[in-house]
A and B are shown apart, each in its own frame.
Chain A
């Protein structure tokens, strides 16, 4: 197996006296879905923020495609090919669904500083945007204002924008949240096929989805990773059972 696409090496982050992440190491390899699970408040969001570039670690390094990106901002990391979807949808709510997807295509292709020519009439952008929307099943809603989408559809749009970036890795923060059973199953099937394009670091509470998708799982509890391994190992791991189920070992 070659070098990991993304690797987190000994990352720690504290907010005042609260240690949100302590000496965390994990990696994401080509072709895999690596799920990050853990109870609420375990520090998953803090870790994702540091991976995406919104927060700087107090110590440790983050490498992406062999490059040290610890000190790069979120825009630079996205440019390198790290696509993320947000836990709380971050979309241009007044714009149409298509415009949101166009934005992703624009970020990927470049040319955001073109002042003439309508973005909507740019064939290249439009094709990339519509293709991504059709892959997540949102093409028929392309003309709607984003604010009118249901919660689940917004998650789909988040994924579609990530797709337009043609990324080298995905970081997805609870993409299943609020989707309902049918929606979850649909997205699970979709992500299953997506891993061949680029590996996915998946933060998720939906355990059915996690165990159906993950090649490996890391468990984050109280800011520390207590176990990493294939699904079966994690299921059987006594520390994980204790942390999750409160079982006595």
Chain B
């Protein structure tokens, strides 16, 4: 067992123990925080596939987070007001069923990632960063200026959506759902990294010329990775919207993109559990520092700066040592 495995196991255990303790101590707020950690970690797991495995520095993942969020918001708001989503060419009703909403969120985010990726991946390096950032901003402004779903004010959903057999309004049950999805995403992304696709994608990050020379297209590998990455982040967006029972253009904002990236980096790029560690630390910092000062972002900024300048493997790198090995 490597040290990284130990750290991962400790993280998993921590994620399980904290809410159990909170349940016994009757601290629903802690459970909500743990739910936030799980959802944000899920968004990070998505980004980590593009960023860690594919080497694609996307500063526009808020686009997919937001698409997932709005998929939930739009479907649930129609169900809530008993108005059909569209009536032509076929009548489609809204829904409050989580599995259906997730499916739509994943598809919407995947489609968005396909279009944005197809365009952005024509370039690389700094261009790619700027372009993904710009497309994220485009959706942000679109969400603000499109009045049908709340425009700038966003959309409130009064009741959390349902999942067969669960009462999602009970915090611990919703948390279990989010944990389950996070666990599935982690397992999938570990298997993806070890799969033939992961091998090829990882090689494309290191040497595009090599991948071409064996007859594979780096562009296609990256595009597929980008779409998978966007889908997972989109699912996180739908859950995040359900947690808050609210969607707003903020989900599309560049800050959201930056924060998702911060989770991944705080934890350690390309590490399976990096986003989990990163999101957990982010939420803890938000509450510890946020309690001390209204201006806690200054400390967060300083910490991030120190990590980038001096601890390049992120937290898991600090704890588990060098050499993030995929596969």
Contacts and interface: CB of A to CB of B under 8 A. Distances in A.
Contacts of B198: 115, 119
Interface in B197-219: 197-200, 202-203, 206-207, 209-217
B215 A108 contact: yes
Nearest to B209: A90
Contact of A95 (B192, B202, B214, B224): B202
A93 B206 contact: yes
A116 B191 contact: yes
B209 A78 contact: no
Given A90-B207, A92-B206, A106 B196 contact: yes
B14 interface: no
A112 B213 contact: no
B212 A112 contact: no
Contacts of B228: 115
Contacts of B209: 54, 74, 86, 90
A119 B213 contact: no
Contact of B210 (A90, A94, A108, A115): A90
B22 interface: no
A74 B202 CA distance: 19
15 contacts: A75-B212, A76-B215, A83-B213, A90-B210, A90-B213, A91-B210, A92-B207, A95-B206, A100-B210, A103-B200, A108-B215, A113-B224, A114-B196, A117-B196, A165-B214
Given A75-B215, A112-B221, A115-B197, 5 more contacts: A84-B213, A95-B327, A103-B203, A103-B210, A115-B195
A114 B197 contact: yes
Given A92-B210, A99-B327, A115-B191, A79 B199 contact: no
Interface in A27-78: 52-54, 73-76, 78
Given A74-B213, A79-B215, A107-B215, A115 B207 contact: no
Interface string A120-150: 1010010000000000000000000000000
Nearest to A111: B196
Interface in B144-201: 188, 191-192, 194-200
B200 A106 contact: yes
A118 interface: yes
Identify which of B195, B200, B214 gathers the most chain A CB atoms within 10 Å of its CB. B214
B213 A102 contact: no
A161 interface: yes
B194 A112 contact: no
A112 B216 contact: yes
A175 interface: no
A74 B191 contact: no
Nearest to B228: A115
| Chain B interface, >50% SS class | helix
A120 B327 contact: yes
Contacts of B200: 103, 106-107, 112
Interface of B: 188, 191-192, 194-200, 202-203, 206-207, 209-217, 221, 224, 228, 325, 327
Given A92-B202, A95-B203, A113-B224, A107 B196 contact: no
Interface centre among B191, B195, B198, B224 (most CB of A within 10 A): B195
A79 B214 CA distance: 7
A223 interface: no
A210 to B, nearest CB: 23
A199 interface: no
Contacts of B207: 90-93
Contact of A74 (B194, B197, B203, B212): B212
Contacts of B202: 92, 94-95
A161 B214 contact: yes
Contacts of B206: 91-95
A82 to B, nearest CB: 9
Nearest to A161: B214
A141 to B, nearest CB: 17
A47 B158 CA distance: 67
A78 B215 contact: yes
B192 A115 contact: yes
B221 A78 contact: no
Contacts of A100: 203, 210
A117 B197 CA distance: 10
B195 A114 contact: yes
B216 A118 contact: no
A94 B191 CA distance: 19
Q: Would you list the 8 A-B pairs with minimal beta carbon distance, nearest first?
A: A107-B214, A78-B215, A79-B215, A92-B206, A74-B212, A92-B203, A107-B215, A118-B194
Contacts of B224: 113
A177 to B, nearest CB: 17
A52 B199 CA distance: 23
A79 B75 CA distance: 45
Contacts of A111: 196
B327 A119 contact: yes
Interface string A228-246: 0000000000000000000
